[in-house]
Amino acid sequence: MSLQVGQQAFEFTLYNTENLSSTSNVVLLFFPLAFTGTCTKELCSARDDISKYQKLNTTVVAISVDSLFTLGKFREEQKLPFDLLSDFNKEVSRKYDSLYEEFPLFGLKGVTKRSAFVIDKHGIIRYAEILADATKLPDFAKIKEALEQCGK
C-alpha cells in the first residue's frame, strides 16, 4: 500500500520516540546508511536549519536500519540536535514504503530508502517524498513549504 498525502501516518515505536509530542509537526527523514556522503549531507542540512524547524513548531527525526550504536556515534560526530532512530528490524521503513529490498549501490538487502515525510500535529501526512535514487536529497524547500501550510 502506497502512502498518500492526507492519509493518517502510521504510528510506531522505536527508541528515543518519547520526545515526539502531538503538539508539534514532525519531519521524518529516512536515510540509507550512517557515515555515507549523501546521508551526512542530508542530515547536516537539517541540523543547519534546525532553528527554522523549531520556529515552525517541528520536531525532526531521522531513521535508518543502522544499529543504535552506529547511530549514536554518527549523531555525536555530526553534532545532530535531533534523534536518530534505529529501525534495525525494518518494520517502520517497510510501513512507510521506504525500504530497498536490494540497495542498488552496494547490493545490500533491506536498506532504508531516502525518504521525507511531513506529519502534522494531528498525525496526517502533509508531504511525502520517496526517492528511488539514493544519491539525491529530499526537497527541503518543499518540506518547509508543507510545514508552513501546517501552521495555517
Decide if 58 contacts 91 (C-beta within 8 A): no
Strand-pair category, 25-30 with 58-64: parallel
Residues 85 and 101: their CA atoms lie apart, in Å, by 20
CA distance 84 to 104: 23
Whole-angstrom distance, CA of residue 18 vs CA of residue 9: 17
How far apart are alpha carbons 120 and 57 in whole angstroms? 10
Q: Which residues are catalytically annotated?
A: 39
The helix or strand, by DSSP H or E, that contains position 112, with its residue range, turns out to be strand 109-112
Q: Cell 495555517 sits at which residue?
A: 152
